[in-house]
Structure 1
Amino acid sequence: MVTYRALSTRWTARLLAGAALVAAVCSPAVAQPWPSKAVTFKSAMAAGSTTDATAREIGKMLSDRMGQPVVVDPLPGSGGLVAAQKVINSPADGYTLLFVSNGLISNQAMRARPQTDLSKDLIAISPLIEGYFGLYVNAELPVR
């Protein structure tokens, strides 16, 4: 004859075994180190441009520091929107970044109806360099 105590002990043992199994399967996720694979810079300017060269140099420095490759993928077009759209549509995992000059921002400000709201679709991580613009003419032109 099975007593209440024996049934209770068996039930408790099964409950504990089940709880242990669930705990083992549902253990908290361990954060993966970043980066664990190549990082891609989507550059908004053509290969060989100043922006592209700067992206490659910064990518090299980051690669040396992080121990993972940084790939520069030049995607010129539409004032930077082609590269921006690629980043917006990429997985939000931190492995695809937009490397862009201020041209993309000023381009958006000049459009009557921008295709995308960059302030909602992207977030700035860090300013990288400061540049200056100049207006030049031939030195033989008689102006000062």
Structure 2
Amino acid sequence: MRISPSLRWLAAAAALTASTVSAQTWPDKPITFVMPYSAGGPTDLVTRKVAQRMSESIGQPIVVVNAPGASTMIAAERVARAPSDGYTLLVGSVTTFSNNPLMYKNIRYKIDDFVPISMMAHTPYTLSVNPDLPVRNFAQFVDYAKQRPGKIFNATTGVGATNQLLGKILGGAVGVNFVDVPYKGSGPALLDVMGGQVHLLFDGINTSVPAHRTGKVRVLAVTSEKRSAALPDVPTFAELGHPNMTAAFWYGLFAPAGTPSAIVEKLNAELNAALNDKEIRNQLEGNGLTVDPGTPEALASTIKRDALAWGPVIKALGIQLE
């Protein structure tokens, strides 16, 4: 059956009108943030604080749903298939958008399946170890690990996650083959470092700082360019002779592609307002996080930059996954 040009025009006009009305009434029901990590980890904790403040502002509940696993791909696929109406959003990270597309042959989502809303925060990693290890500094830890080849376990948040890549880079530099133990989030990974089931974790600074201060882990180094104000006595990897270990973990908010620009603009404004809230900012920055509200365009540029930075590393390590 042939559809007349006038009917096609009417259909397009109706779709445009529906989109406009949707943007004007948004939000008129609860919003879901899909979190690719387990509850209790650094990304989860920050997201819940921000979601609560956004919820108070927009007058609708924001539910944070944890969907961990498969190097953040379970959560990403879920949001990629969601309606483009601004009610199902992804908390995506450098792993989701810069690392996974470079490593997985059969990845079931594309960067173009999403539209960036804004960066939320970024944080350096810390090399955190079990405090019962007989080591007080980085050099002692390396010596300890070298004496136990194949017996030092590195907790990671999945194959291809930045903390796994950092373990590979460091291991290659110091001549230690760390045994990777994957977890569905840094929350359970950190608990196992505390309990002695694994030896080390490259963890976000905002969760490792409280654990370090209470003696539950020992932080030996940070991946920031300069020392963190939250850990002034802990050296950077660059100070220790490993400048290629300078790295940060970032995360931001994303909507399914096709979400009306008016809704994206509203989400950007609400998210940035929450991140600029004095109480939230002081709390997050006090634990070493850098709060980083911005534009969708800035977040898109970060994705491209990190893909260029990590691409050669992933290739050199020979990581190619199904």
What is the aligned partner in structure 1 of residue 136 from structure 2? Answer: 139
AA aligned opposite 1:128? M
1:75–1:83: 8 Å Cα contact kept in structure 2?
A: yes
Letter in 1 for 2:136: A
Is residue 70 of structure 2 the alignment partner of residue 70 of structure 1?
no
1:122 aligns with 2:114: yes
CA deviations over 1:15-70 (Å, ceiling 9, x no partner): xxxxxxxxxxx9x7672421110000000101111111111111101101101000
RMSD of aligned alpha carbons:
2.4
- Displacement of 1:94: 0.8
SS of equivalent residue, structure 1 residue 126: strand
Gaps of 5+ in 1: 1-25
How far the C-alpha of 1:142 sits from its partner, in A, is 5.1
- TM-score when normalising by structure 1: 0.70
Is the counterpart of residue 40 in structure 1 residue 37 in structure 2? no
Distance in 2 between the 1:53 and 1:63 partners? 15
- Output the CA distance in 2 between the equivalents of 1:34 and 1:61: 17
1:126 corresponds to which letter in structure 2? S
Distance 2:84 2:138 in 1: 53
Question: Quick one: structure 1 residues 127 and 140, their matched pair in 2 at CA, closer, same or farther if it must change by over 3 Å?
Answer: closer
Q: Which residue of 1 aligns with 2:193?
A: none
Q: What is the CA-CA distance between 1:110 and the residue it aligns to?
A: 4.2
The question of whether the paired residues in 2 share the 8 Å contact of 1:37 and 1:68 is answered with yes
Structure showing greater relative contact order (alpha-carbon pairs closer than 8 Å, 6 or more residues apart): 2
Structure with more of its chain in helix, by fraction: 2
Query: CA 1:61 to 1:74, structure 2 compared with 1: closer, same or farther past 3 Å?
Result: same
2:48, 2:64 within 8 Å by CA — same for their partners in 1?
yes
The answer as to whether partners of 2:38 and 2:66 remain within 8 angstroms in 1 is yes
* 1:60 equivalenced with 2:52 (yes/no): yes
Q: Secondary structure at the match of 2:55?
A: helix
Alignment-derived partner of residue 88 in structure 2: 96
**Kindly, what percent of the aligned residue pairs are identical?**
32
C-alpha separation in 1, matches of 2:94 and 2:64: 18
Q: Secondary structure at the match of 2:63?
A: strand
C-alpha separation in 1, matches of 2:56 and 2:75: 25
How far off its partner does 1:107 sit?
A: 3.5
TM-score (norm 2): 0.33
Distance 2:121 2:54 in 1: 15
Matching of residue 86 in structure 1 with residue 78 in structure 2: yes
- Relative to structure 1, the CA distance from residue 141 to residue 132 in structure 2 (aligned partners, 3 Å threshold; closer, same or farther) is closer
- The secondary structure found in structure 2 opposite 1:57 is helix
**Which of structures 1 and 2 has the bigger CA Rg?**
1
Whether the 8 Å contact between 2:51 and 2:62 is mirrored in structure 1 is yes
Number of aligned pairs? 118
The aligned amino acid for 2:32 is T
> SS where residue 51 of structure 1 aligns?
helix
**Per-residue CA distance 1:69-117 (angstroms, 9 max, x = gap):** 0000000011110001110111111100001232223441441414134
Distance in 2, matches of 1:54 and 1:67, equals 20
Q: Distance in 2 between matches of 1:127 and 1:92?
A: 20
SS of match in other structure, 1:132: strand
Structure 1 residues 38 and 56, CA gap change in structure 2 (3 angstroms): same
Q: Is the 1:38–1:68 contact (alpha carbons within 8 Å) kept by the matching residues of 2? A: yes
When residues 112 and 140 of structure 1 are mapped into structure 2, their CA distance, relative to the original with a 3 A threshold, is closer
Given that 2:77 and 2:109 are in contact with CA atoms closer than 8 Å, whether structure 1 keeps it comes out as no
Higher strand share: 2
